[in-house]
Chains A and B, each alone.
Chain A
Amino acid sequence: MKLKVDLKYALLLLFVAMGTFAMAQRTVTGTVTDAETNEPLIGASVAVLGTSTGTVTDLDGKFSLNVPDGAAQIQFSYTGYATTTQDIGVSNVIDVQMSAGTDLDEVVVTGYGTQKEKEITSSVVEVSEKDFNQGVISDPAQLLQGKVAGLQVYNRGGNPNNQSVIRLRGLSTVGANVQPLVVIDGVIGASLQNVDPNDIETISVLKDGSAAAIYGSRGSSGVIIVTTKKGKASQKLQWSYNGQVSTESILNSIEILDGNEFVAAGGTDLGSRTDWIDEVTENPINHTHGLSVGGGVGANSNFRASVNIREQNGIMRNTGFDQFNARLNFSSRVFNDKLKIDFSSSYTTKDQRIGYDEALRYAVLYNPTAPVLGANSPFEFNSSQFGGFFETLGLFDSFNPVSIVDQNRNVAERSEFNYSANLSYDILSNLSVTMRIAQQSTDFSNDQYAPTTANFRGNATSPTRKGLAEFYESNATFSLYEGFATYLTSFGKSDLTITAGYSYQEDNFNDRFFSIGDFPDNSLDFSNLIESSQDLQNAGFINASSNRSPNNKIIAFFGRANFTFDNAIFLNASVRREGSSKLGEGNQWGIFPAFGVGVDLNRYLNIGSVDLLKVRVGYGVTGALPQQSGLSQEIRSISNDPSGAVNTTLARAANPDLKWEEKAELNFGLEFSMGRFSTTLDLYNRDISDFILERTVDVAVFGVDRRFENAGKLNTQGLELALNYDVVRSENFNYTTGVVLSTYETVLEEYVLDAETRGNLGAPGQNGTNMLLVQVGQEIGNIWGPVYEGVEDGSPIFADINGDGQLVTGQDQALNPDADFEVLGNGVPDLELGWTNQIQIGDWSINAFFRGAFGHSLVNTFRAFYEPRLSTQTSYNFVNTENAVDGLTTARFSSLYVEKADFFKLDNLTISRQFNLNDAAIRSIQVSLMIRNAFVITNYSGIDPEPSLVDRGSAGNGNTTIASDVLSPGIERRNNYFNSRVFALGVNLNF
């Protein structure tokens, strides 16, 4: 808390201090316009070459720049236009016309440096601010949703506290980290949660192995490189304010019966009529505010500082978060511009009201005739025992959802601080050395409190032990020390760039958990007075645990050479040798090479109207390791015996032979552009061998059935296509459209087991029902079960698939050769589509972004549990979708509950109007109206048709699970947060 206050003031001071040092010299002015339409270009970059002096054009395309003495050229750049350079003459006015088209010399941030886009031989996509998704976005990953072919960003449901699941080209590993590596301003492994979307300028995505290999093991699941906005060295400070206010409503829940329908269907009538979903949800009002200032400090320095505040509430009452974020970027050149110093720091604090997603699940299944309050109970009911709320006692897995929302508390506080310093020194004009130091620390705490009157987790039915308080705290720190040198040379038509360096990374994590219950009553929040707990008098009730990781280290040496010939043939090669403390001696070091070649064919073919025709091939190997520590070591669990002894028993067997998991990827790319049309095609083949998994081993031999092993091999083949076309380009009307398409298939080629099933459906009554099949030779994500044919006497009839006259449909026979099971669908989409449309009419602009995924299925678990009219449990509500089967009174998992979840939606619609107020204190105002999830077209009858790539597992009767199973995609669990439709009004001021 102290740090939070200090930092706010420090940043504020910096704001003020830096704003006062602007200097004035010779001033050059001018206008930048589109060569074709003569429209002014707003926000084009204007920079004095060889210095850090620069500015951007205003709303009329005009700029004014202070040019230092001796400066010779000014460079003009604008995304989507070719960069041009003009000599500075005697004139103080320079007007420039820029041509639209692919800017072949545009520089893209890649690993440990930048490269001209044209010279890149791997699959790299850069998305800049103007192409980001719009609207109320607090998770930076969502800026890219649907924008990059092959990048999957899914945030199922509308829970504001959920982080997106990010996948690049599907499943990159089984046991290791499947989320791509995030690099923020050069800092490897930085946290995406510590950067506010408002502060991001560009995001580069390194898709294939040849690009990511320079990052070694941490880049194995792809790399997302975030570049934050920097101050532009202009004469005066530029202030900018960004604000949004929004509200949201339930986009889709699930069809259930109302009270009267429920009674008509044979449900127990408890006398009231309650819409439980309505009771626990609301249409919240949310705000975000961002203020930034940036500009030059003296001739050689610039800075940008920003503060962002977000208040976000979910559609479920008492959920949401408040976030404060501050960021400072500062850069300076000293020693005759030879030493460049970049300093960056950010701080984020987030107060989360997490709540319990289970309240939504119980809102679906709770008896719609039950009253909210015990006072309205049809029979004598001890309301005070439950804080005034009604409860259906004696029923498994049934909790009054309003009581959960109003009585149970689940809050968290997260704060994250990082800084990085980058020193780059030009020893010679073609040799530079860069040193980088970065540190990051994250503190997280989670408090959960269920008062003595809470039936959910508070054990209010217990005569003895009521109330529960849980405390969790963790700290994570990360340090990075890197140094590398870059050498450039040319001979004849050839250019060669060589980079070599090393990287030292160290992370450490520790946490503590404590829970205690049995509080006196509900008169106080006893989580603030746990000495009142009677658990202190009874052995065995208090839970406590703590853990500290070892200092996990990654040490790497790397080198790369980029060679270009004739500005048309490009060769890139890199190698990284990396060691990790997680593996056994002798297996700690791995070597990860990469190689790429690209050719600009059109330079030789000279097809008249074609601007670019480039082919490239890249091949790279990366390594991967799971998150856990002690992978290769024997781990024992410790327990206290009633005899007073302390016992340890084997929990995981050692595997000193464990070695690096390796990913080898071959990527073929084709880039083509002609006038207003451009396209990129990528084809890839990826082999993941020796993937590491904690697997079942022969318990007779090892004494325990778990240890980490190099367990198998996965192959992924995929195709990605991006198309862009400027349909109309005129003075007052512009229309640009772009489509990205991607498809892939991941097959398990080798595995330690021939087959296994995963993804348990769960309680009540459907444990031991694993819905996903993992089998050698098969695609990942196959949903496996019996085929529904009809209903007889209330029970489902299953198909005799193999026609042997015998029905073998028991779940423990799922892997029998004669089982009547088949693949009922696949949880991974066949095709994913993003379709961007940008229309500009005068001062108005419309941005419509459509997104779709096709070919995937989801198990609708709400239906699997609650749609059959169970004659014996008439106190759960019934789910009642259009797929409901009349007369079915038995719940058995089958094809009946596996639904195609193809969808196409208007993900984002933004309409904005620009007001130019050149002479006023405020230079411009942009007002926009945004709608997220404007409409969704799908046949899926569940809550959200978005693919579910990670399974969180089943939880029942007040428990929560934290499983994270990447081999069980395609299950929509019952505690999924409802998705929402968001309406936002935004204003952007520049002054």
Chain B
Amino acid sequence: MSKFLKFLFALVAIFAVQACTDLEEDLVGDVTEDINIEGIDTGGGGGSAGPLSAAYASLRGAGTANHGGYYSVQELPTDEMVICAKGGDWFDGGILIDLHRHTYDATHAFVNGTWVQTYNAINTVNELLNGDNLDANQTAQARSLRAYYYFRLLDLYGRVKIITSPGQDAPQASRAEVFAFVESELLDALGVSEISSSMDLSGSALGTDPNPYAMNQFGTLGIIAKLYLNAEVYTGTARWQEAADAASYIIDRGVYQLCGDGCKVANQGKRAGVASDPDELSGFAAVFASNNENNPEHIFSVLYDEASAGGMNFSQMNLHYSSQFTWNFDAQPWNGYATLEEFYNSFENGDARKEASFIVGQQLDFGGSAILDYASDDGELVLNYTPAINELTPNSLREAGARPGKFSFKQFGRPDMDNDYPIVRLGEVYLMRGEARARAAGDWNVSLDDVNVLRARAKVNSYSTIDADEFLAERGREMFQEGVRRMDLIRFGKYNDAWWEKPADPSDHVNVFPIPFEQLQASGGTLTQNDGY
């Protein structure tokens, strides 16, 4: 009997002792800060991209070419792209119409999503910079890339926190301070104190080899050219000469070439049953094709791959459900983004860029038969994209609007596309140089040389004279779907104008987005709202 009691109390004691000592949580199914995976440090590394692979991967995570983030907020408030409410489809609480009409507000989900995505990416770069396994060149790449992310924040929100180390807090900087930070980081990476026609980049830690997936001197120059081109918007002080000098440096070194007639790739979108589909894509179309990975025009690009590097979803975002059968897509598209009619019509017929940029007209399937839309709302079953759009809301026709197709679709494509997305490409560098020189000179005709290089490639007549409006239109034709239209309209003073179903903005406070409501609240008062919101 007493033996039993002793046993009982012994058990009690065992439990009690165990109880006091062991409350450690060992997370066996999660990656925590304590985990070290062979060959990588927290933040990433290894593989052929070296320790910076996580930094470059963050470009895909930062909404560069999908719905709901950076791409959407740069494109949908402009005159080149719109998502109409199609009956019961795509109204989404009016937030897409708000983007079109510039009535967006601080609680807009895309405005918050873009902010979060961008700071996530900055954190990834900060973690790498905080580690100790980057050499001087890699550090310069990382800082240059981080400066590019701050350039996005500068452009979208103006006043943001400049965080350069994980976990650190900082006061909200003025737009001019953010501009100065981006400028100094990029200049540091280039190893110079200022951009000039006579600058010597030999002191730069960045390389010069053309590799569009890594930041080299030319990529950094392209980004600083964008920064200076918009400097007047950001700070009130124009920096045209520096923009022109940075662009010139890229063009003059001759490392990159425009993709002309001889620059070809196989047409991966070709249908077996449609003889008129070309076997190859050349020139402008080849720059954006699904197999554009070795294009000589790409200076700095985001790598996308359908299997291993997802994040570009244009086929889903832009095309009608039934267009699945033209390209034999793995998944049904969403029928969202379309082009405004006026913008579509700004392209003249014969402009290679028109054909390369849009999906329009009656649609045929893989075998060449007409695609039928059994749920058709326009009285006929044939799927036919019309450039004209009947209305923005509530009952835009399902097949209204030419569809953006510049990043062309391939047969049997997946929801994630293969096309690389250029952030700096030579075509835009010509336009930046032309514009900066013209504005510096006070004469738009100064830009003609650069503009005509691109018009020749597009197989349209050269201009003999040009003005600001025509330059902006030309920029629109060249840069459609590349996420720059909002910046261009603001810089040209057109962003607040009326177009199609958008009235003129009552105030230009909409030229920067509001600081997201959630972030204002989460920051505990360390962020304040932009004027006008």
CB within 8 Å of B: which residues of A? 268, 270, 335, 339, 379, 392-396, 398, 423, 425, 427, 433, 435, 459, 461-465, 481, 483, 502, 504, 510, 538-541, 546-553, 555, 557, 579-582, 588, 629-630, 633-650, 654, 695-705, 752-754, 756-757, 761, 763-770, 794-795, 809-816, 865-866, 868, 870-876, 889-893, 957
Contact = CB atoms under 8 A, between A and B. Distances in A.
A639 B88 contact: no
11 contacts: A483-B11, A553-B22, A630-B32, A647-B44, A696-B518, A699-B123, A765-B92, A812-B107, A865-B88, A868-B88, A890-B395
Nearest to A654: B33
A539 B307 CA distance: 6
Residue in B20, B89, B126, B306 whose Cβ sees the most chain A Cβ within 10 Å: B89
Q: Name the prevailing secondary structure of the A interface residues.
A: loop
Contacts of B308: 539-540, 640-642
A752 B524 CA distance: 9
Contact of B48 (A423, A644, A809): A644
Given A643-B47, A766-B88, A809-B94, 4 more contacts: A645-B53, A648-B44, A703-B124, A890-B395
A581 B98 CA distance: 47
B330 A891 contact: no
B377 A649 contact: no
Interface in B94-134: 94-95, 97-98, 103-105, 107-109, 115-116, 119-120, 122-124, 126-127
A647 B40 contact: yes
A546 B87 contact: no
A650 B95 contact: no
Nearest to A644: B47
Contacts of B43: 647-649
Contact of B331 (A459, A810, A811): A459
B236 interface: no
A394 B321 contact: yes
Contacts, number: 356
A636 B42 contact: yes
Interface residues of B, number: 119
B237 interface: no
Interface in B272-320: 303, 305-310, 320
A463 B168 contact: no
Contacts of B325: 461, 463
B350 interface: no
A550 B25 contact: yes
Contact of A581 (B25, B127, B398): B25
Given A394-B374, A547-B29, A767-B92, A481 B15 contact: yes
Contacts of A393: 321-322, 374
Contacts of A379: 372, 374
Contacts of B5: 425, 427
Contacts of B105: 810, 812-813, 816
Contacts of A465: 330
Contacts of B109: 768, 812
Contact of B91 (A481, A634, A697, A766): A766
A812 B40 contact: no
A334 to B, nearest CB: 11
Contacts of B4: 339, 425
A641 B304 CA distance: 11
A581 B375 CA distance: 56
A423 B518 CA distance: 55
Contacts of A270: 374
Contacts of B527: 698
Nearest to A764: B89
User: Taking each of A398, A552, A695, A890, which has the highest tally of chain B beta carbons within 10 Å of its own beta carbon?
Assistant: A890
A47 to B, nearest CB: 27
Contacts of A811: 92-95
B33 A630 contact: no
A590 to B, nearest CB: 12
B25 A630 contact: yes
B86 A649 contact: no
B449 interface: no
Contact of A555 (B23, B89, B94, B97): B23
Contacts of A462: 324, 328-331
Given A481-B15, A810-B95, A704 B123 contact: yes
A502 B373 CA distance: 69
B85 interface: yes
Contact of A643 (B49, B86, B93, B104): B49
A757 B95 CA distance: 14
Interface of B: 1, 4-5, 8, 11-12, 15-16, 18-20, 22-33, 35, 37, 39-40, 42-49, 53-54, 57-58, 61, 85-95, 97-98, 103-105, 107-109, 115-116, 119-120, 122-124, 126-127, 160-161, 163, 166-170, 303, 305-310, 320-322, 324-325, 328-332, 334-335, 366, 372-375, 377, 383, 394-398, 412, 414, 416, 517-519, 521-524, 526-527
Contacts of B372: 379, 394
A581 B394 contact: no
B87 A870 contact: yes
A580 B104 CA distance: 45
Contacts of A647: 40, 43-45, 53-54, 57
> 6 closest pairs, A vs B, by CB?
A811-B93, A703-B123, A540-B307, A645-B47, A872-B87, A647-B44
A455 B84 CA distance: 27
Given A648-B40, A701-B168, A810 B31 contact: no
Given A641-B53, A701-B168, A634 B32 contact: yes
Contacts of B87: 765, 870-873, 891
Contacts of A873: 86-89, 375, 377
A581 B24 contact: yes
Nearest to A695: B522
A641 B54 contact: yes
B308 to A, nearest CB: 4
Given A642-B303, A700-B161, A764-B90, A810 B103 contact: yes
Contacts of A579: 19, 23
Contacts of B416: 540
B46 A644 contact: yes
Given A641-B47, A647-B44, A649-B58, A815 B395 contact: no
Nearest to B85: A765
Contact of B124 (A640, A642, A649, A890): A649
Given A463-B328, A648-B42, A701-B168, A643 B15 contact: no
B166 A641 contact: no
Nearest to B53: A645
Question: Which of A335, A579, A654, A768 has the most chain B CB within a 10 Å cutoff?
Answer: A768
Given A636-B32, A645-B44, A504 B90 contact: no
Contacts of A634: 32-33
A891 B91 CA distance: 8
A890 B394 contact: yes
B30 A641 contact: no
B377 A636 contact: no
A547 B30 CA distance: 8
B377 A815 contact: no
Contacts of B25: 550, 552, 581-582, 629-630, 633
A447 B402 CA distance: 43
A688 B441 CA distance: 68
B19 A766 contact: no
A644 B120 CA distance: 22
B30 A630 contact: yes
Given A539-B308, A810-B98, A889-B395, A633 B27 contact: yes
Contact of A435 (B11, B170, B334): B11
